[in-house]
Amino acid sequence: GGEELREALSQLPALKALDLGSNMFADAGAKALAPLFRKTTQLVALNFSQNSVGLLQLASLTLNGNSIEALGMKVLNIGDNQLKAEGMKHLAAELPKELGALNVARNKLGDEGLAELVKVLPTIQGLTTLHVGSNECSDAALKEFAEALPGLPGLQARASRASRACGLHAHLMHC
């Protein structure tokens, strides 16, 4: 489980990308992995999606001595977990300005969680990819989210190249 994986990965301090998605670690597995992120100082891409992990364990992964911001994380995929609004509040405070891709889809963020993300979006100028779908958000929250998007030049450039019917619009419609 998580402890064995932590031991193996701890032998790779120069690790830059780590894909631990779809392992169903749950909270116990995430807790076992958390100390790894104190030692890994060069990690710039992390996929921890589809692991049924809640707020406390996601926080222990991301806020464990080496914050996402301190690591200079460029790609963060924590979609399909149990982040919820409170988790998004903690995560939003850690998102680096140079983050290029963020997936927080299917995390039950609700209106409050989406609002926390909206607060920090203007500070993440490197963002080119953003997934927020299926988060149980109201039309009002989606409108506020959509109004924040023009302040992200990298995201706008990418969206303008994509199909207007399928690109970013599709992610908004599925929140």
* Residue % of the chain over a pLDDT of 90: 21
Q: Are 81 and 108 in contact (CB under 8 A)?
A: no
**DSSP string spanning 6-71?**
HHHHTT-TT--EEE-TT---HHHHHHHHTTHHHH--S--EEE--SS--BHHHHHHHHSSSS-HHHH
Tell me the mean pLDDT in the region 7-27.
81
Question: Could you tell me the pTM of the whole model?
Answer: 0.79
At 66 the pLDDT is 52
CB-CB neighbours of 34 under 10 Å: 20
Write the CB contacts of 162 (distance below 8 Å, at least 6 apart in sequence): 168
Between 40-54, 111-125, 138-152, 159-173, the lowest mean confidence (pLDDT) is in 159-173
